[in-house]
A and B are shown apart, each in its own frame.
Chain A
Amino acid sequence: MPEPVEPLRFVAADDAAVCDPVTGVCAVPDAESEVRDDDGARGEGAASAH
């Protein structure tokens, strides 16, 4: 398994849809995304599913 050689740079979208292992909820984004550079993990949405 390859090892990371440097911290990841996150290319995040405001409406990235993600399933959260803590809440068990999968967010449903409610707007089209705009891709941009980001320096931290993101991926939240407005509503929830699983």
Chain B
Amino acid sequence: MEELDILKKDWNKNRDNFPKVSEREIYAMLHKKSSTTVKWILIISILEFVFWGIITLSNLLFGSREIKAPLFVTIMDYVNYVIIIGFMILFYLNYRRITTEKPVKELMATIIDVRKIVRAYVIYNIIIISASMFSGLYMFMVSDSPHTHDIYVTIFSVIAIALIIMLLVLIYRLLYGRLLKKLNKNYNELKKIKF
């Protein structure tokens, strides 16, 4: 007899070997807090949306306007607001697609999609902030400021921006690497099942 068939015999026989959980205990469980990967993704994603939203919007609203921004920049500001709102709507719609009644592979793909949307949002914000900082720097350099040609200020700013971005990328990789390790492993395992 095959190993699994021996196990099946036992599986079906030993039906009452587990400790019985009473109705009262089940009621209590319903009011306990859940701690799942999806819940953590939601919390971190909201924090990311808020954090990057504040940074980008404050940069756009209160950024250096000493030099009059060209019309193109003003239009881009509005486009940026629309894109940020678009990301949030996309995130919400995809997040609602996460249900535990789906096939295992589909559920994993949906969670990964949600994660990709937030990652795209973060990358987009980093690009916008970097572009905005560098353009600000450029405008500062070509303006009539007394420090215009202070090469040290320029180099320091570029290095500081690069370091901050690298640090943030590292934090993301560590955070999500840890959070999604099991999910990615299982998803790859399912994708491998193609004969």
Binding between chains A and B: no
